[in-house]
Structure 1
Amino acid sequence: MSTPQPPPGAFDSAFDTALDRAFGHPTGLLGRVGGRLMSRANAATERRLVALARLEPDETVLVIGPGPGIGLDEASRLTRKAIGVEPSAEMRALCHERCGDRVELRSGTAADTGSLDASVDAVLSVNNVQLWDDRAAGFAELFRVLRPGGRLLLSAHEKWLPIPRHDLAAEVTAAGFTDLQTWTWEPPGFAPLAAQLRALKP
């Protein structure tokens, strides 16, 4: 009698689902484990993006997909108000553990931040743009909530970008942003090469 075999692709599908629950759309125990790993792997990139934003004490910063909150925590120590928009309840819990009441946490996405028009000075996002369901809507929303002169800074593992870096830059420009700059940065340790982007709202 032969042993029943799993259907083709079953293991790949289960592995992909586990990865998504840990890192893509963190949920449950896998999400919390993924968050702990992200806090180590992304820390240098998170801190670099905050430094590049040159935040001022009287500013409001919006962090899209803060994950376990490394960058959000850093930003909250430099600005008047730091807001994290995160769809994962597990990640919001980790953010709260790290940041406490220094930050405002919201359930939302890049396309639905819950912010008023022209209410923030800087938007930061690390390793999140590849998860946006609708990038055009996301960039339009971030343009809407930024004040004139506000800046957008994005970083993502280059190998996981949803489209080539120059095409992503074109989408940002199409949303109305100007003074766009892109570059790559090699984080310390074993983190993959990061593609980074900075743009302004005129």
Structure 2
Amino acid sequence: MGRRRLWNGEPVGANPFALPRGPLGVAAGWMLAVTNRRQQADVLAALAPGAYRSVLEVGCGPGVLLGLLASAPGVEEVAGIDPSQRMVSMSRRRNAAALRAGRLRVHPGSAGATGEPDAAFDLVVTVNTVAMWPSLDEGAAELHRVLRPGGRAAVSWHGASSRFALTGEEDATVLAALRRRFGAAERRDLGSAVLFEARR
């Protein structure tokens, strides 16, 4: 990522992968659908989503993980939010059958303002978005707010072998933010990704 200053309150700016929009946004969405697929599958396997009735994906991008969640046995309700209207549209098209069946809904929203009600979900998951949140503390607070008591927050980012991997200091900052809000949090290395987990 080069020199970066994460979680300083600044908007994500013109990065087409952070906030896909316009013609470049379509290309970015298709690229994200391909490049994030392995990490999403690894995170899904680690989470065993069938243990949760209601799931929210924060930063759903083009909707690949949303589709996997919506088809997981035992999952009754899936919601996806993304700050990019382009990604919301792509997610809806990709998962049109699940939307028509009432198993899925997708709308604009961000990590700090999901637009979802209090204590609505058993699981909140996000893959490769945490370094793009303007405020880490606001994002952690919002995940806590929308989870039911006993609910699980799962925040994943690129693994150590990726050029986008968090530094040791950034890694510790994510864990500390979750611990401040949830009281306890753990970090797991999945190979393709790191997974930070906390329970309300």
TM-score for both structures, normalised by structure 1: 0.81
Q: How do residues 73-112 of structure 1 correspond to structure 2 at under 5 angstroms?
A: 73-78=67-72, 79-100=75-96, 101=99, 102-112=103-113
What is residue 18 of structure 2 aligned with on the other side? 24
Specify which of 22, 26, 29 is matched with residue 35 of structure 1.
Answer: 29
Specify which of 25, 42, 53 is matched with residue 47 of structure 2.
Answer: 53
- Looking at both structures, which has the greater relative contact order when contacts are Cα pairs under 8 Å and sequence separation is at least 6? 2
What is residue 13 of structure 1 aligned with on the other side? none
Cα separation, partners in 2 of 1:131 and 1:148, compared to 1, 3 Å? same
What is residue 140 of structure 1 aligned with on the other side? 141
The CA distance in 2 between the partners of 1:177 and 1:64, in whole Å, is: 21
**Which 5+ residue runs of structure 1 have no aligned equivalent?**
1-16, 188-193
Residues 30-72 of structure 1: per-residue CA shift (max 9 Å, x gap) = 1110110111110111122222222237611000001111111
SS at match of 1:161: coil
Q: Which of structures 1 and 2 has the bigger CA Rg?
A: 1
Specify which of 66, 73, 77 is matched with residue 60 of structure 2.
Answer: 66
**Aligned positions, number:** 177
Shift of 1:142: 0.8
What is residue 199 of structure 1 aligned with on the other side? 198
SS at match of 1:164: helix
Letter in 2 for 1:86: D
Letter in 2 for 1:83: A
| Identical-residue share of aligned pairs (%) | 30
TM-score for both structures, normalised by structure 2: 0.81
SS at match of 1:115: coil
Asked whether the 8 Å contact 1:47–1:70 carries over to 2, the reply is no
Task: Please identify which structure carries the higher helix content.
Answer: 1
| C-alpha RMSD of matched pairs (Å) | 2.0
Asked whether the 8 Å contact 1:36–1:68 carries over to 2, the reply is yes
